[in-house]
Structure 1
Amino acid sequence: MQEVIVAPAPPAATPQQPRKRRSFRRSAEPFGFLAPTLALMFVLMIIPVVLVVGYSFMDNVILNKNPQLVGIDNFVTVLTDSVFLTATGNTLFFTIVSVVAHLVIGLGFAMLLNSPLIGNVARAIFRALYILPWLFTAAVIAVLWRMLLAPNGVVNFLLNTDVEWLASPALALGTVTFINIWAGYPFFMVSLLAGLQGVPAQLHEAATVDGANGWQRFWNVTIPQLRPIIISLTLLDLIWTSQQFALIWMTTGGGPVNVTEMLSTYTYKLAFSRYEFALASTSAVLVLVMSMVLAFFYVRHQRARD
């Protein structure tokens, strides 16, 4: 009689297995929603950055099929270029003056709009006028100010002069800095106005009872309450202003005689005017490093604030 061998039945699924599957699905579900965005960021940000960093250590890239590894030669070439040094100095002047002016003007207008001495109608009118520059794009701002500052423009007509504001080597850098100040202060004004409206009135009342005058209340009550906002706005504006390109390119193009050349326009000209993509990549990497330093301090401040 042939013996029949019966295979053992598979072990029954324990209650823990479905529970583990559900737990895995719940933990993986957010990554599924984020996957398209992460893939897009990887394609449009990570890969280009890696390629540019690689190009900065090579020569004969993009247009040549035989790129050569040159190490840090490109960095030496760029860092010793007189135009790069001029662009760096112009960028520092343009950025620092713009950020300081944005802060001072924005805070002044914010305190004006927050003052109880102005009625509701006047406050609404002033708010609309002050925020107007923020509504324009860089292209509109550049065209508008080129028309106003033309030799036969409104500004020269009012001043009864014929100054070449954007073509004069002595005035061009100050002029584009003024235009950037005019275009950027509303961001500070709106943010600081929101901060001023959040300052408890009891603090000012207590300071008044203690005998503090208006300046003392401003310096010892208002500024400490606004300090986190001021630091955040300043760091963000430093990053944005140091990378300003559209306004400079559409007003002066970096001229005349490189007096308004910025790091952004310098990098653009290396790539698309001289077709030296390796040097342009090197300049872009240097700008990236500077921006990452500012971004590090911004993130550090935000963490400390939280």
Structure 2
Amino acid sequence: MNLSSTNVHRPGTIRSSAGPRSTRPKAPAVRARKLVPFAFVSPTLALITLLTVVPILMVAGYSFMDNVIVEPNPVFVGFANYVKVLSDPTFLTALGNTFVFITLSTVVHLVLGLAFALLLNTPLLGNVTKAIFRVIYILPWLFTIAVIAIVWRLMLDPSGVVNYLLGTFGIQGADWLSTPETALGSVTFINIWSGYPFFMISLLAALQGVPTVLHEAARVDGAGWWQRFLYVTLPHIRPVIISMAVLDLIWTSQQFALIWMTTGGGPLNATEVVSTYTYKQAFSNFDFSTASAAAVIVLLLTMALAFFYVRQQKVRD
């Protein structure tokens, strides 16, 4: 017998004449599996594209043309609309008012929010007292902008509650929302009052996340309250403070409803901000080209703030 011509099998083994079978999935199956996550997010992407990306591109295109929307044949004018906006004294006034409005609002939001958060986080108050104060402090955050604007317009009226209370102390009142010297400060105060609870809640959560062991160790080493706050509490909540500050700058820079419902940008452009300027150019003057250019400028400024916010979030993570 010729052993070389016979198939010799070891016990327990099976020899296949077809050769080894490949276990790797086929290329179409791999591609289909990779496309599954995109199928899940495709409705959201389509909605964002339709409601956000397309309008932004349309407004950006309008900013380089003249006689858009109102005329069937718009004319390409390049950067002429941007030059017109940036050389408009009203826009420059609105830009300055916006800077003052968002800077004061953000700084005072931070100070008040941190102060109230420290008060609600102190062990000197009982749980019932803290609960009562939390309800009181968070009330401004529960009202809508329309309610806040109407209530404060009534309170700041020349014959309103604020002037009445000032008169009881012998202080002369004012027409707070109709006087150029006091209008911007009054609107900023209203915005501060309505927005500080968001800072308070966020910073309170950050304070409660600071390890108590660190405070106890610092107390044993002889550190006082201010030293513990400066070297223990503040470093732990600094990422939250920076993130909240940048986010508040973005939100406040887009504030429109509060100013429009209280002063409408007046008197004499004293409370004119970029958002009200853009609205007036589009729907009062029907100059959609100029309004588009102003909107693109606001978009660029907001994108710069958003870039710093996303970068800060990455550093925080």
Asked whether the equivalents of residues 78 and 279 of structure 1 are also in contact (C-alpha less than 8 Å), the reply is yes
- Does residue 119 of the first structure (1) align with residue 126 of the second (2)? yes
Instruction: Tell me by how many angstroms 1:16 deviates.
Output: 6.0
Q: Which amino acid aligns with 1:91?
A: T
Unmatched 5+ residue regions in structure 1? 1-13
SS at match of 2:117: helix
Q: CA RMSD for the aligned pairs?
A: 1.3
Q: 1:189 aligns with which of 194, 200, 203?
A: 200
- Does residue 61 of the first structure (1) align with residue 68 of the second (2)? yes
Partner of 2:145: 138
Partner of 2:56: 49
Partner of 2:244: 233
Q: 2:158 aligns with which of 132, 151, 157?
A: 151
- Does residue 100 of the first structure (1) align with residue 107 of the second (2)? yes
Alignment of 1:278-293 (within 5 A): 278-293=289-304
Q: Distance in 2 between matches of 1:235 and 1:217?
A: 26
Asked whether the equivalents of residues 152 and 162 of structure 1 are also in contact (C-alpha less than 8 Å), the reply is no
Asked whether the equivalents of residues 245 and 265 of structure 1 are also in contact (C-alpha less than 8 Å), the reply is yes
Partner of 1:30: 37
Instruction: Tell me by how many angstroms 1:300 deviates.
Output: 1.0
Structure exhibiting the larger radius of gyration computed from Cα positions: 2
Q: Which amino acid aligns with 1:229?
A: V
In the superposition, the TM-score normalised over structure 1's length comes to: 0.93
Q: Distance in 2 between matches of 1:226 and 1:58?
A: 47
Unmatched 5+ residue regions in structure 2? 1-20
Q: Distance in 2 between matches of 1:47 and 1:144?
A: 38
Q: Which amino acid aligns with 1:54?
A: G
Q: Distance in 2 between matches of 1:208 and 1:43?
A: 57
Residues 110-139 of structure 1: CA distance to partner in whole angstroms, max 9, x if unpaired? Answer: 000000011111100000000111111111
In the superposition, the TM-score normalised over structure 2's length comes to: 0.90
- Does residue 218 of the first structure (1) align with residue 225 of the second (2)? no
- Does residue 167 of the first structure (1) align with residue 178 of the second (2)? yes
Residues 79-109 of structure 1: CA distance to partner in whole angstroms, max 9, x if unpaired? Answer: 0100000000000000000000000000000
Q: Distance in 2 between matches of 1:151 and 1:219?
A: 44
Instruction: Tell me by how many angstroms 1:304 deviates.
Output: 1.7
Instruction: Tell me by how many angstroms 1:206 deviates.
Output: 1.3
Counterparts in 2 of 1:216 and 1:17: CA distance versus 1, 3 Å: closer
SS at match of 2:252: helix
SS at match of 2:180: coil
Residues 230-250 of structure 1: CA distance to partner in whole angstroms, max 9, x if unpaired? Answer: 010000000000110010000
Residues 14-72 of structure 1: CA distance to partner in whole angstroms, max 9, x if unpaired? Answer: 86686544433332122112111111111111111011111111101011011111111
Q: Distance in 2 between matches of 1:262 and 1:193?
A: 32
Q: Distance in 2 between matches of 1:91 and 1:18?
A: 59
Asked whether the equivalents of residues 91 and 242 of structure 1 are also in contact (C-alpha less than 8 Å), the reply is yes
Q: Which amino acid aligns with 1:122?
A: T
Partner of 1:253: 264
SS at match of 2:147: helix
